[in-house]
Structure 1
Amino acid sequence: MLRMFIGRYQSEAAPIGLDGLAERETIRLACALSRPLRPIDVQEQLQVNHRIAVRTLRSLSEKGLFTPLSGTQGKHIVRYEMNPAALRLL
């Protein structure tokens, strides 16, 4: 019984890394905006540089949680659309 009581106030055994936290916040941002995300959106929300924002979005797309969308000429990926499977990480 004592272990159950103390267990409430102990931290998790495996803390969430910064990458996991950034991914989770990016998913929350995509839900709030309800439109495809641009790297600048993530950059402004998380207060990170452009490279980290792009790395986070690429990581989410590699996991199948976001779909990359190319620009009008089809050369560069400029937006990322959230897949419904991403909601399970929240």
Structure 2
Amino acid sequence: MDFDQAHHLWLDTHRKRRSGERKDRLERGHGHGEQLFLRNVWWPLRGNLDHLHPEYEIADWRGRPYFADFAWLTEAVKLIIEVKGFGPHVRDMDRTMYSRELNREVFLQAMGYRVVSLAYDDVEQQPEICIMLLRMLLSRFEVSGQQADLPKLALKSTLLQAVQLGRPIRPKDVEAQLGVNHRTAVRYLQQLCELGWLQARSSGESGRVRMYEVIRRDWDAFDW
């Protein structure tokens, strides 16, 4: 499958999963710069679009929705990728917008995301630089010797997701975030319960556990 075929299938899959503003944002936001990044940088680097989410919605530190250009979500890392043109992100930005952008990046880092910003000019004219830098970054999470750390990274990601959601987390939230099956998602949530970070909540007359809520917030005590 070549890039154009893979991109069409990938975009159509994400489009079918969305509705309302999230779908409209995907239609409006996934434009020339984003497609150029996929064609010039990501596809030559990875050869696929697995675990990559376009126009990924995240709540910022004010609780307001923010759409990142891309999010690459695996058990080992949560990576936010932004393609920034000089005009809208430098020349046309006032002091308030600049401050909000920096605050948002710090908040995302605090929530467990790695934030990477790439210049549109490099994506268009010097994609080999972007490929080299991203390869250096991603190699930190793909060394075979780090596989033993994946369970810890998955638990960390699940706990951070539970905090960010602002509501009880469900297994299907974890499945979508980490790309794991239902059984694995439940296992991660139950482990966090055993460690005292989450508490299971049942719903309905059946008494089945369907969601989990955060009950502990002393993050310094977590073995990150």
Q: TM-score band, normalised by the shorter chain?
A: 0.7 to 0.9
1:69 maps to: 201
CA contact (8 A) 1:27 1:86 kept: no
1:43 maps to: 175
What is the CA–CA distance in structure 2 between the aligned matches of 1:31 and 1:75, rounded to whole Å?
Answer: 24
Of the three residues 183, 190, 193, the one matched with 1:58 is 190
In structure 2, runs of 5+ residues without a counterpart are 1-139, 141-145
What is the CA–CA distance in structure 1 between the aligned matches of 2:157 and 2:212, rounded to whole Å?
Answer: 15
Percent identity over paired residues = 36
Which one scores higher on RCO, CA 8 angstroms, separation ≥ 6?
Answer: 1
2:160 maps to: 28
Higher-Rg member (1/2)? 2
CA contact (8 A) 2:196 2:216 kept: no
Aligned residues: 77
1:19 maps to: 151
What is the CA–CA distance in structure 2 between the aligned matches of 1:33 and 1:62, rounded to whole Å?
Answer: 21
1:81 is the counterpart of 2:218: no
In structure 1, runs of 5+ residues without a counterpart are 1-10
Deviation, structure 1 residue 86: 5.9
What is the CA–CA distance in structure 2 between the aligned matches of 1:81 and 1:40, rounded to whole Å?
Answer: 14
Deviation, structure 1 residue 74: 4.6
What is the CA–CA distance in structure 2 between the aligned matches of 1:45 and 1:86, rounded to whole Å?
Answer: 23
TM-score normalised by the chain length of structure 1: 0.75
Deviation, structure 1 residue 38: 0.3
CA contact (8 A) 1:27 1:87 kept: no
Partner of 2:160: helix, strand, or coil?
helix
TM-score normalised by the chain length of structure 2: 0.32
Q: Amino acid of the residue matched to residue 53 of structure 1? A: A
What is the CA–CA distance in structure 1 between the aligned matches of 2:167 and 2:182, rounded to whole Å?
Answer: 19
Show structure 1 runs of 4+ deviating over 2 A.
Answer: 84-90
Q: Which moved more, 1:71-80 or 1:19-28?
A: 71-80
